[in-house]
A and B are shown apart, each in its own frame.
Chain A
Amino acid sequence: MPNERSATDIGRPPFASYQLDAAYDEMFTPLGQVREHYRTLYDRLREMGASELLQRQRYADASFLNQGITFTVYGEDAGTERIFPYDLLPRIITAAEWAIVERGLAQRITALNHFLHDIYHDGKIFRDGVVPRELIYTCQHYRREMRNVNVPRNAYITVVGTDLVRLPDGSFAVLEDNLRVPSGVSYMLTNRSVMKRAFPRLFANYGVRPIDDYGKALLTTLRALAPEHRSDPTIVLLTPGVYNSAYFEHTFLARIMGIELVEGRDLLVHDNIVYMRTTAGLRRVDVIYRRLDDDFIDPLAFRPDSILGVPGLLNAYRSGNVAMANAVGTGIADDKAVYAYVPAIIRYYLGEEPALQNIETYLCDKADDRAYVLEHLDDLVVKAVGESGGYGMLIGPHSTREQRDTFRDLIIANPRNYIAQPTLSLSRAPCFVDEQVEPRHIDLRPYILNGDQVTIVPGGLTRVALRRGSLVVNSSQGGGSKDTWVLFE
């Protein structure tokens, strides 16, 4: 609907320095008019002005600090804790947009789950020539120990955090899947609770779908994995311990689910049954929500130097005496080279077209792709296939000659380990920075649960690249987050 008051809604405080560019802007149309679903927020921001916004931002920051909502930064002094920067302004998604996202995510997790079952059992998808066998067997996260192991409910993936970006045409695309131990859901929940306190009236009138039942949904999903004869299953959350960067989240989730937070040293395996050591004796454990990578869970099966895991856990798991979420070996689907095949995987198992598109991906292992990548290093984003968290990547347009030469050598030495994608123009959303509202690049990580059924909490973690012009949203690289509102209609 055209705005009658003026041709454009930007340029007035607190939007004085707001500028549009080629990226999709969440709040404004390319002509500078407020999108309909942002209208109420826009009006409210115009009313409040910078000083009141600043006051509320301070209130929100204090709220995080007092609750001890922090993460640990690696590579600094052991135990350096920081607050995850929080941006005050919500990111708003319409019901229609969300319907597509929801359908696409459910489709994706279902297909990937079939895929994991298949590659650890019959390998039909190899025989039919859809995914090359070598690609999977050379995956860093492929676990041959899982061949022909039946996992409870055939649910390999229980919790997924999928990173979505919005392209300049306004459509959502999948940037990567996180099928091992995706984190950040505690920030999604705490962002919401802080938001409700900072903007109570605005929130109440907006018609935002609630996300507060995540803890219960997660518990129900985990409970569905318990061995069937166990009527009152014991569910625990296995954490690497207080020095892990996501320790706050582990304590948070254990608390909202009302389950025990355990470390590897609290558990032991006897006759392929897992117990936890309590003051009232040993108590049998039925489901482990582990926030520990495969490599560390069992020193007898994987890294022998791991003191975070439980000796014998893998055998107990293979015997079906304990369930684990996520299953061992799901990391294959995180491999960025496997990612390129996901649309084909969806078509193969479900016979449907993917509802969410993939980002075009060049596999350096393929000669043609590699030649193209090496010629266009300054345009592309190059990623190591097994890395996450924004580590091990080259952003071509922002790189130096030296960095490009390093990556050229790396790619030639080990082409299987690298993929490249076009540099994306992530969508931008209004953020409150330096007492102004300015656009910043964002992505979206919704959380998908898969036990008896697929459950997607309406929302997710919107991560923000708070540095002007930056495209990196990871918390370890100067990113922040904001609350994500999915509207009822």
Chain B
Amino acid sequence: MLSRVADSLYWMSRYLERAEHTARLIAVGLNLMLDQTPQSVGPRWERLLAALRAYPPPSGSGDAYAIARMLTFDTANDGSIVSCIASARENARQVREQISSEMWEQLNRLYLKVKGSSIDQIWQGEPLEFYQEVKEGAHLFQGVTDATMTHGEGWQFIQVGRYLERAGATASLIDQHFRPFLEAPSDAPVALDYIDWVGLLRCCTAFEAYCKVYTADIQPECVAEFLLLNGDGPRSVRFAADHIQRAMQAISHATGTRSAGRAERLAGRLRAAMDYGQVDEIIAENMHAYLESIQRQCGAIHGAIYQAYVSYPVDTALTS
């Protein structure tokens, strides 16, 4: 497979995952506003912005309209939903003959939907419906991909893109929620509302699944354990690490003799850390550092993939 094609498939998938993640966070944020108090609204949006690595709009972190506009429709913001979907589509367009027509059509439909909407239009109507459509569009694309594309090397690059993005995004989200809770001095604990923990779980579409495992008694340690270490929840870091490693193995198998040792080793190490991690130890030691390390490892895996498959130096490839 051409390196350029692998690169485009990887980013197509990553951008779409990012768009879906952003849509879900905004939807949860808007939903929480229904139960807001003047004290809670600012910090909630601040956490959300920090989780997405975005800065508050000039009008401040209490301005939901400005935040939604910036994160959804601002084409100058590379992380906005419209920018991500446009980038995903552009990557798909570059490799249109490598993906199935159904995939292209679905992505194109989603693009046209978002491109044809505006903040004022959705704000006057039901904004949640719009975000629901974006999420469904992305889920449909994933389903169409799995159902219509050969599960070969290209599909594996799509998997790697999606789960690397997801692992990093989930780690960042957990970090932003737990920081105020963990950093507060022990004599003056910061109590996040019950509703904020529900919000965090909802951001990972994990509330119902959590209740099945731990009941509706929401304990921060259990939330952390569930979102980090549960191997069955599709948005947990462990689930993502598992899929990253599997895809890396499949890719290195498909590309034959080439040594992609570093990428595979890094993926295996992340997975092992998640497989054998203990939540009480993680919290006791330094959860913030732990979550940052997960994000750093995702970055390192990305770098190693590029080194091995996409932008490898010519002289190393000649001698191998």
Q: Chain A residues with Cβ under 8 A from B309's Cβ?
A: 279
Q: Any chain B CB within 8 A of the CB of A276? A: yes
Interface residues as binary, B1-24 with A (CB distance below 8 Å gives 1, 0 otherwise): 111101000000000000000000
Contact of B255 among A276, A279, A282 (CB under 8 A): A279
Q: Any chain B CB within 8 A of the CB of A270? A: yes
A279 to B97, CA, bound (A): 18
A261 to B258, CA, bound (A): 23
Interface residues as binary, B63-86 with A (CB distance below 8 Å gives 1, 0 otherwise): 000000000000000000000000
Q: Chain B residues with Cβ under 8 A from A382's Cβ?
A: none
A241 to B97, CA, bound (A): 12
Given contacts A260-B2, A270-B318, contact A280 B94 (CB under 8 A): no
| Interface residues of B, dominant DSSP | helix
Given contacts A263-B4, A266-B3, A268-B314, contact A280 B97 (CB under 8 A): no
| Least distance between A79 CB and chain B CB atoms (Å) | 8
- B101 (CB) vs chain A CBs: closest residue: A68
Q: Any chain A CB within 8 A of the CB of B256? A: yes
| Least distance between B194 CB and chain A CB atoms (Å) | 48
B258, A281: Cβ atoms under 8 Å?
A: yes
Interface residues as binary, B299-315 with A (CB distance below 8 Å gives 1, 0 otherwise): 00000000001101010
Given contacts A279-B251, A280-B255, A280-B258, contact A262 B314 (CB under 8 A): no
Q: Any chain B CB within 8 A of the CB of A242? A: yes
Contact of A277 among B2, B94, B97 (CB under 8 A): B2
Q: Any chain A CB within 8 A of the CB of B317? A: yes
A280, B4: Cβ atoms under 8 Å?
A: no
Contact of A279 among B93, B94, B153, B318 (CB under 8 A): B153
- Give residues of chain A (268-321) contacting chain B, Cβ–Cβ below 8 Å: 268, 270, 275-282
Q: Chain B residues with Cβ under 8 A from A276's Cβ?
A: 2
A242, B314: Cβ atoms under 8 Å?
A: no
Of B97, B251, B318, B320, most A-chain CB atoms within 10 Å? B97
B318, A280: Cβ atoms under 8 Å?
A: no
Q: Any chain B CB within 8 A of the CB of A265? A: yes
A263 to B4, CA, bound (A): 9
Contact of A242 among B96, B256, B310 (CB under 8 A): B96
Contact of A281 among B6, B153, B320 (CB under 8 A): B320
Q: Chain B residues with Cβ under 8 A from A242's Cβ?
A: 93-94, 96
Q: Chain B residues with Cβ under 8 A from A281's Cβ?
A: 255, 258, 312, 317, 320
Q: Any chain B CB within 8 A of the CB of A464? A: no
| Least distance between A6 CB and chain B CB atoms (Å) | 49
B97, A254: Cβ atoms under 8 Å?
A: yes
A255 to B101, CA, bound (A): 14
A57 to B81, CA, bound (A): 40
A280 to B251, CA, bound (A): 9
| Least distance between B318 CB and chain A CB atoms (Å) | 7
Interface residues as binary, B129-163 with A (CB distance below 8 Å gives 1, 0 otherwise): 00000000000000000000000010000000000
B96, A278: Cβ atoms under 8 Å?
A: no
Binding site for B on A (CB under 8 A): 68, 241-242, 251, 254-255, 260-263, 265-266, 268, 270, 275-282
Give 11 A-B contacts (CB < 8 Å), ordered by A residue: A241-B94, A242-B93, A251-B97, A254-B97, A255-B97, A261-B97, A263-B4, A270-B314, A277-B312, A278-B1, A279-B3
Which 10 pairs between the two chains have the least Cβ-Cβ distance?
A280-B255, A251-B97, A279-B309, A277-B3, A282-B317, A281-B317, A279-B1, A279-B6, A279-B255, A266-B4
